[in-house]
Amino acid sequence: MPENELLQQGKNAGSARNPLIAVFRSLPWLVLAAAICGAGLWLYSTYVIKPTYTSTARIYMYSTALSDTPGSQRPTISYTELYAAEQQSDLCIELLRGDKLLNRAIRSLHLDNVGADTLREGLSITADGNSAVTISLSREDPAEAQQILSRMLQYYPEELDRVVHTLSCEVINEASLPEKPSSPDVMRNTLRGACVGFLIAAAYVVIRSLANAAVTDELERR
């Protein structure tokens, strides 16, 4: 290719020395790339990824020793006792993840194709610091998620009393029946795909602009 044609190609790259101008002039192609990638992630999230539904419940943990003592006769609690109670609370949360409770819930529902490890992957437990614990279970079947979590709440007080004799629990919110899938987030995935497509296309335009600028500078020096 003659030198004058190479020089013209470098100059027509949208002010080759200014990548921002090249990006601006390529904006329609960038938008198209974003739309294609966004549509691809939308299709993948909608038709390929299996949706999961999350059932949620809340329980309240309390000390049986204090609850059985009249208010005027309740003893003063030391820091050591509070620390021990906190450690017991952590143990109570671990009991919710334990094989014994999960397997008992599975057997009661005759879910032969479900294992404790599988349930644990979709189980989320958080404590808010006020003795309240939020338990969430994600499954592909919303009714199954609710049923399993309900059985866990049913059997949990027995497991708690078996291991920790000074704590008990009350159900604040029963296991909910999810109406909408919690995952995947189709809108978020679509936006992520569009952003990634736009950035990749913009990076290509900038690199090409800088390469053309380098060619142009080299030809102008000759």
Task: List residues bridging with 136 in a β-sheet.
Answer: 56, 124
Torsion, Cα 216 220 221 222, to 10 degrees, reads: 110
Residues 136 and 201 in one domain: no
| 215 falls within a domain | yes
Residues 58 and 101 in one domain: yes
pLDDT digits (tens, 9 = 90+) for 71-84: 544 444 444 544 54
Residues 149 and 203 in one domain: no
Q: What integer best gives the mean pLDDT of the chain?
A: 82
Residue 209 or 191, more confident: 191
Closest alpha carbon to 46 in 38, 58, 36, 55: 38
| 107 falls within a domain | yes
Residues 134 and 147 in one domain: yes
Residues 165 and 132 in one domain: yes
pLDDT digits (tens, 9 = 90+) for 36-46: 999 999 999 99
| 133 falls within a domain | yes
CATH number, residue 73: 3.30.70.1130
pLDDT digits (tens, 9 = 90+) for 182-194: 999 999 999 999 9
Total number of domains constituting the chain = 2
| 217 falls within a domain | yes
Residues 37 and 125 in one domain: no
Residues 122 and 23 in one domain: no
Tell me which residue has tokens 């309390």: 62
Residues 197 and 154 in one domain: no
Residues 18 and 39 in one domain: yes
Residues 207 and 192 in one domain: yes
pTM: 0.71
| 178 falls within a domain | no
Domain limits at 161? Answer: 53-173
What's the pLDDT at 163? Answer: 84
Exposed, middle or buried, 12 (CB in 10 Å: 0-12/13-18/19+)?
exposed
